Every structure is written in structure tokens, then in C-alpha cells.
Amino acid sequence: MTNQGYADARRPEAAAEAAGRSFGEKSSRYGGGLRSFLEEWTILILLLALLVLCSVFVDRFFEIGNLMNIARQISFLAIVALGEFFVILIAQMDMSIGWTIGLTSVLLAGLMSRNGVPMGVALVLVFGVAIVIGIINGLLSIVGKVPSFIATLVTMNVLMGLSYLYSRGIPISGLPRQLNYLGMGYLFSIPVPVYLMVLVTALCYVFTTHTELGRSFYAVGGNAEAAKLSGINVRFVGVLAFVISAVLATVGSIGLTAKTMAGTASLGGDMLFDVMTVVVLGGTSLYGGKGKVIGVVLAALLVGVISNAMVLIGINTYYQWIVKGAILISVVLIDVNSKKE
């Protein structure tokens, strides 16, 4: 043991000498070499391969109009999936996002067209509702210790009921024209939702990799007991995950509502499946503690391209569901079985 006091290690100048030395191989976790590169970037490689296939076999895939359409669709999917990502990261599950989208969509439309609330105020109110939904999900799952699968299944059902009650089962139209810009507009010939996705991705990336709170999510997901005994507020992190999930679902909801120019209860009703696929395909472990923001976004691109290609080739919707099912189960099989070292 050196005679230098350990308290000095906290002071950068005292450890400057140490800084000059090597901290060890950064890539050693993956073993180094081509194989590790492939493992790390499987998704990107799959995506490139898929794009090559599409350019050969799918007519009209690379037409500007179609690419813009994919970009828009993927943006919404990626944003909502990034919300779910935080919940899966702490080894929980949020089943209610589809109907959080539904309720916030009809509320946004209803507030503006029925009650004449200005757009800005309506947006603030809708986010307020999202936060409340997230807190309820979080309190039930984390503080109440109801398995989140059940807790959010229940809130999902309640939200579904509320959405239909509020909208009386019909789409609410009559939205202000400028809202459409959020969904269908272009800035420098790139669809506006893409900017939204890039912004959300950047925030999530910085949050997870460079902040104390972001790292707490990995700590809680990897071992909640150890995290708690290291002084991390496990409950706060847990509830926050559900709040982020609901808020990002709402960002997606606003975009989708702006795109269709109507508040629709069933707007996100079939989205949960794609979102789960994206999160798991993106390398997030269902056991928690492992996952990357970039992986999720790349997975959204992959799923978006597959969906679009299937539509262009003219594959029946029912077959599409089966194909997506096969994708999700393959990915989960790999995740679950790669746990055994």
C-alpha cells in the first residue's frame, strides 16, 4: 500500500500521476477484434443488409416520397420506444403506452376543438396528464409492488375506457392548421418529426451516458438491492422511468395526432408490439441493467424499414403480424439464452 492517503485519490491533482497511466483496455469487455465489433454493431449491419435487399427487390423503395414517409413513421416509433426503453432498463414493463397515446390524442384534440383552448395551453395540459399517468404507473409498480405487467395492464384498460368515453368513440377533428406542421411539415426538406426524434435521441443519449441520474437507471436495473444499499433512491428512479415512458409516448401521440389531424382513441392501440420489438431488438435486456439508446433507435429504423418494405411488396397485413411475431420471438430467444454465459 502506498503511503499516500486514500482521501487524496479524490483530488485530481494528487492522482494526476495515476491519470497518466493506463486504466486498461476499454474494449476488453467485448474481447476486442472483428468479432466484438460485429457483436456490438449487429443491428447496424442488419440494417445495411436490409437496405441493400430493399434496393434490389422492392420497387419504389428509394423514392423520395417513400423515404420521407418511412422517416416520419420511424420517428414516432423511435420516440415512443425510447420511453419504454427506460422502463425495460429497470426490469419493469409498461403495457399502457398505446392507450396513453390514445387518451392524450383525444384530449389534445378535444381541448382545442371542443373547448377552444389555445394550442400551447392544450399541449401543457396534455403533458401534465402524461406525467400523472406515469406517476400512477410508477407508484403502483414500484411503491405498491404490483408486478408492473399487471399494474400497467390495468391502467391500459382504464385509459382505453377513458379515451373512448371522452371521444365518444369517434375521431375528434377540427384542429388548428399550424399543428399539422409538427406531423407533416418539412424543414430544409426533411420531415419535422425527424428533428423531433433526433432531439429526443440526443437528450436520452446524454442522459443515460453522461449524467448521475442516467447511470442510476443501469444501477437499479442491474441490481436494485445493491443500488439501494449504495444510496441510490430506487423508488424515485423507478417512478421516473414510468413518467419518462408516458411523456415520450405523449410526444409520439402529439406527432401522430398532428399527422392525421384528428384526435383518435385507438391511435396507438396496436403500437405496443412494435415498441417492444424495437426495445428488445435494440439490445435492451428484459432482465434490466443493459441497453443503449442508439441501439433502440437503430432497431426502430430496422423495424420501420421492414414494415414499409412489406407494405410496398404488397404483403397482406395479417402476414405482416406473423412476420413481426417471428422477429420478436427470435430476438427474445437470443436475449434470454445469451444470459447463460
Partner 1 sequence: MIEVRSAATAQAGTGTPLLEIRDLTVKFPGVVALDSVSFDLLPGECHALVGENGAGKSTLAKVIIGENQPASGRMFVEGHEVNLHSYSVRESQRLGFAIVHQEFQLIDEMTALENIFVGHYSKVGPFINRVALRRRAHELMELLGLEIDLSRPVKYLRTAEKQVVQLARAMALDAKIVILDELTAVLPESDIQAVFRLVRTLTERGIGVIYISHRLDEIFEICDRYTVLRDGHGIATANVRDLTKAKIVRMIAGRELTKVFPDIGSPGEEVLLETRALSSKAFRKVSLSVRKGEVVGIAGLVGAGKTELLHALFGNYPLTGGEILVRGKPVRIASPQAAIKHGLGLIPDERKRQGLNTMMDVRKNTTLPAMRDYKKALFFMDEKRELTAAYGILEQLQLRYRSLWQGVGKLSGGNQQKIVLAKWMLAHTDVFLMDEPTRGIDVGAKAEIYRLIAELTARGKAVVLVSPELEELLGLANRIYIMYEGKIKDMVEGDRKDQATIMTSLLGANE
Catalog residues that contact partner 1 under the rule CB under 8 A: 1-2, 4-6, 8-10, 12, 14-16, 18-19, 21, 23-29, 206, 210-213, 215-216, 218-219, 221-223, 225-233, 289-290
Give kind and range of the element (H or E) at residue 100: helix 97-113
Least distance (Å) from partner 1 to the CB of residue 115?
Answer: 37
What values do phi and psi take at 336, rounded to 5?
Answer: -65, -40
By CB neighbour count within 10 A (0-12 exposed, 13-18 middle, 19+ buried), where does 330 fall? exposed
CA dist list (Å): 175 to 113, 127, 169, 250, 261: 6, 18, 17, 17, 6
Coil, helix or strand at residue 172? strand
Whose CA is closest to 186, among 295, 266, 75, 292? 75
Least distance (Å) from partner 1 to the CB of residue 280?
Answer: 16
Give 28 or 189: the residue with its C-beta nearer to partner 1: 28
Give 234 or 254: the residue with its C-beta nearer to partner 1: 234
Least distance (Å) from partner 1 to the CB of residue 206?
Answer: 8
CB neighbour burial string for 219-249, b if at least 16 within 10 angstroms, e if fewer: bbbbebeebeeeebebeebbbbbbbbbbbbb
The residue to which cell 466484438 is assigned: 36
CA distance 287 to 90: 8
Whose CA is closest to 285, among 196, 237, 222? 222
Give 92 or 105: the residue with its C-beta nearer to partner 1: 92
Least distance (Å) from partner 1 to the CB of residue 25?
Answer: 5
Give 29 or 60: the residue with its C-beta nearer to partner 1: 29
Give 290 or 324: the residue with its C-beta nearer to partner 1: 290
Whose CA is closest to 227, among 62, 125, 39, 90? 90
Give 85 or 99: the residue with its C-beta nearer to partner 1: 85
Least distance (Å) from partner 1 to the CB of residue 231?
Answer: 4
CA distance 302 to 204: 19
Give 224 or 309: the residue with its C-beta nearer to partner 1: 224
Least distance (Å) from partner 1 to the CB of residue 339?
Answer: 11
Least distance (Å) from partner 1 to the CB of residue 3?
Answer: 10
Least distance (Å) from partner 1 to the CB of residue 220?
Answer: 9
Question: Is there a contact between 216 and 237 (Cβ–Cβ < 8 Å)?
Answer: yes
CA distance 235 to 186: 41
CA distance 308 to 72: 12
Give 15 or 125: the residue with its C-beta nearer to partner 1: 15
Give 3 or 115: the residue with its C-beta nearer to partner 1: 3
CA distance 161 to 171: 15
CA distance 336 to 331: 9
Least distance (Å) from partner 1 to the CB of residue 340?
Answer: 13
Cβ count near 331 (within 10 Å): 20
